[in-house]
Structure 1
């Protein structure tokens, strides 16, 4: 197959989740509902943390950042998909595809890092409670978040520069509902060895390192909890980690499921359907997990809703 020069590439084509036109209205309604719930749920979390002074703690600072990141990540992919379904125009410009790759990498990388920071917060609170205020002050929290953002932006820039150096074949159809870097790499006529190495390095750094930190922190947390003499103290300590553990299990579990599905099936669209779990569903359910399991968050949300209702 003859390769085109990369400067001749004007647009790619996103194939979406399935070709059945009769199911497109259902998919549109489902994803529109998921997107609106994601925006509303995470926005309520942000407002609740902002207006309730009792929630101005390191744990809720990271939760605030996670909710803001989830809104940005979902907005990067969902609106384009909804427009494509509604207009039946599945094309995306090269710049638009490059922007999606960059933003998805930045926000997904930042998400894993924030989850690692949240479990570190629980580790310090449970294992070193007397030093909690010293170790995790507001400057430390902001510095950690900015450092994670810098790492994620650097990763996104490197991948974007790599994509600009690629030459593509005449087949420019992406079997996904957004421009995923791994799928775009499959369309290139250039040598993909460097690209694949970069993907594995990215997974190890922005996926493996936070995962290792989370596992190590939970080992110390469980060890400290088991040494507590009081059953009530053990239950309270475990309950403070329950929400975070649920979110981490959902994100990494669905990510691992996508990896398994890509290994056992040749259908890229089935892999795209599986990736909906970590790219859309996870961001949608995060606010519900945290609000349902934390009484102080539930109280803050009810206060916020009452305040909003009084203004209407």
Structure 2
């Protein structure tokens, strides 16, 4: 620890990459209980139409804040550098890769993780997305000690948050990032005062949120309409939910926003059209397409799509 007035400040090594990680890092920088000794994040990756190298949100912020930044392809590459830094605590938030024991155990107070779910539910890489896809009404933030088993460590703090009906993965992730920023500040204060208490998880109640694949975004019209809508909410912006209005050899259509409506018909059949957009029959009920995005095009309303693509009642979509 380093001296700051009358209190000792924790030397923190931060591991993160995405927007939630950036929010947590910003909070640590403002904390009177801690200082950021180093930031470990991901190497730049090609992005956009022209595949130019782009830094992740954490690297952009850390570089602008003139923090010491490491971008190893393997965390073990920087073990000796971290050992020389001598951190008191490791904080992981939205890093996206497994950390070996050698770096987890290096800080003398251990390493903690900020996870966007109410553990032990939704352990894994995509907890926000799967909570929405499964129609959950509540989620939250868990801060826990990192252990060899994924997201299975003792819980230091947990805060709940309702999921609104109009939330998707983008909006809910933003809310959780804000919640995480406040939560990490309280936990750092507890560490600085030596008053951290942790509770073991009930592993018998664990559920999992595996990393998403593109194939999981394809809409199966045989599912109930509410399940389809929940997947549309949960799988934004990637992989997105998509279908084939003109058959599997035609261009795909991404569904960005939808509502459940009380129509019936054969799964995949266009059963109604109004100025909100077309309604497609599901295994139970139907799905009104409010916002869509044809491949290579802009996002448009369902009604704009109808006008430009000759959609008619009785059409069958796949």
Larger strand proportion of the pair: 2
Larger helix proportion of the pair: 1
Common topology (TM > 0.5): no
Report the TM-score, using the length of structure 2 for normalisation. 0.26
Structure with more relative contact order (C-alpha pairs < 8 Å, separation 6 or more)? 1
The structure with the largest alpha-carbon Rg is 2
Report the TM-score, using the length of structure 1 for normalisation. 0.26
